[in-house]
Chain A
Amino acid sequence: MATARIDLAFMFCSVPTDVMRRLLLLLAFLTAGRAFAEDALRPPPRLHFGGFADGIARDESTNVVALDLFSTLRMSNSWTGLVEVVGQKTWRSGENSPEQSEVGLERLYVSYRPSDYFRLEIGETHTGIVRWNEREHRSRFLQTPIDVPAIARRPQDDGAWPLRFVGVWASGRARGSLGLTYEIGAGAGPGTERDEIPIFSSSRSPAGFVAMSIAPENFPGFETGVSVYGQHVPTKPNALRERDVTVFMNYVNRGLEVRAELARMEHDFTRIPTTFRNEGYYVLLSKRLGGVAQRARPYVLFDHVNIDAADTYLRNSASENAWAAGIRYDFTEHFVVKSEYRSQRARDGSRQPITSVQLSVSF
């Protein structure tokens, strides 16, 4: 543990220091802007810019600096557009492994919403097959723990589930005491390479998605639902059929947060009677403390995924069995520090402890 503390201190004194300084300056600037904005009551602007900045330092694991920028444009009463770009740099502490940088388009869509019952999105968006992903999108600011559960990781981060999607998406909410919502999508999912969505090539992967959820009026804060996703992947020599089903449950009320999700994925070869089954779940429990400690939110996360080793389509994904405990501290509504201890099973089967600290800003 002494080594871990020294490593963390070293990381804070070297690369992340510059990041932290910039984040704090940004925070001061934005806080001043918001204080001014509260005095003047004006209609919201048509063009909105926002974003998140994250810096995560870990001992003997992958460090991350990420910037997530998004913009929404209200074109009319019913039409809006959204674009989101994410830049991320990762490197491992204590090793000479190369740094990895990526900048990519995360979401780009136009939305038509004539009412709360019906909303249509066209473009690149998130599938919502894993609710965590749908709820948080890329930002770690919004989520309570530092790490994303294994079933909600992006393919670029060795995740297995198809999180992004290009196509047409309809969703809506029915008024009433049941709080019923629906989502239906059709388009293209990940192709023969799990982290790419080909549109115009022969490796295009037709995909469809249906989800329903309820949030009963007489049970405030409770929400549960089911999502089903299917796609045809033209892998060679045998094409694959993918069927995913997830069931989720959230309860968020009076500072208590309980989130749980169970996901199952099956891959069938279209010509050979072979089925690969992959499954995973997470359970998150957190509670905002009261009184003078109300800015603190301790949490615990149980994170499990089991990948069939014979499923070559998921060759970059690995099984995981982990738990994490930590605390999130909100210095302001827009500046968060998290500290976490995570115990996870390494590829050789041994338990690997990881200590992490995250600074996160929203603006």
Chain B
Amino acid sequence: MNLLAFLVWMQVARTEQRLFVIVSASQTLTDVSTTDLRGIYLGQVTRWPSRHAMMPVIPSTKTRSGEAFMRRLMRMAELDYVQHWIGVVFRGQAASAPLVAGSAEQAARFVAAHPDAIAIVGEVPAEKNVRVLTVDGKLPDAVDYPLRW
């Protein structure tokens, strides 16, 4: 019975995917809605409440978290996402496409050093100068956390 429970736990652990939204510890923001999050990563929401321009960072699509970001949050293929951003920049709606981080640590280092950055990562980074946001008021540990699949 214990072996069966362990195998079930292993399967759940292998397939469960969570994404975390991190910002600089100097940001006053503590929560973000999924609507705004999609807006930020589609180039529709570009400003912090302080009116500073955001610098969005995404996980590389070569990682599991990057795949989940594209498929679950953006609901589009990587090709379409890249071309969407070519259009956003071409139309003058944003200065540049999101930066692509190869790892959660790399994203966290960048966010810690740039107060206007916001990143989506697949694991909670060890970096101290960043804060994990709640999404739609839910903590990442909550069962109904929106970025948990």
Contacts and interface: CB of A to CB of B under 8 A. Distances in A.
Given A43-B55, A80-B95, A48 B47 contact: no
A295 B57 CA distance: 25
Nearest to A37: B100
A251 B46 CA distance: 23
A116 B46 contact: yes
Interface string B39-79: 00000111100011101010010000000000000011111
Interface stretch (B1-9, B13-21, B86-94): B86-94
A285 to B, nearest CB: 16
Contact of A70 (B79, B90, B114): B90
B80 A135 contact: no
B102 A39 contact: yes
Nearest to B101: A41
A333 interface: yes
Contact of A41 (B46, B51, B52, B57): B57
A142 B77 contact: no
Interface residues of B, number: 38
The secondary-structure label for the interface of chain B is mixed
B79 A330 contact: yes
B30 interface: no
A175 B36 contact: yes
A173 B52 contact: no
B106 interface: yes
Nearest to A51: B90
B145 interface: no
B99 interface: yes
Contact of A333 (B44, B57, B79, B109): B79
A48 B87 contact: no
Given A142-B87, A217-B35, A111 B92 contact: yes
A173 B38 CA distance: 14
A74 B35 CA distance: 27
Contact of A114 (B51, B89, B101, B106): B51
B11 interface: no
B87 A135 contact: yes
A288 B55 CA distance: 29
A139 B90 contact: yes
B55 A44 contact: yes
A221 interface: yes
Given A44-B99, A135-B87, A254 B75 contact: yes
B82 interface: yes
B35 A294 contact: no
Interface string A90-113: 000000000000000000010101
Contacts of B79: 288, 294-295, 330, 333
A137 interface: yes
B86 A362 contact: yes
Given A43-B114, A175-B45, A288-B77, A48 B89 contact: yes
Contacts of A113: 46-47
Interface string A129-168: 0000011110101100000000000000000000000000
A221 B99 CA distance: 23
A238 interface: no
B95 A44 contact: yes
A132 to B, nearest CB: 12
Given A44-B55, A80-B92, A142 B35 contact: no
A116 B52 CA distance: 11
Contact of B77 (A41, A217, A255, A334): A255
B53 A142 contact: no
Given A50-B90, A115-B51, A137-B91, A177 B75 contact: no
Interface of A: 38-39, 41-46, 48, 50, 70, 72, 74, 77-78, 80, 82, 109, 111, 113-116, 121, 134-137, 139, 141-142, 173, 175, 177, 179, 217, 220-221, 252-255, 288, 294-295, 330, 333-334, 362
Given A78-B51, A220-B38, A333-B83, 12 more contacts: A41-B57, A46-B95, A50-B86, A72-B89, A72-B92, A109-B92, A135-B91, A141-B83, A141-B86, A142-B83, A253-B75, A333-B78
5 contacts: A45-B96, A77-B53, A116-B45, A116-B47, A139-B90
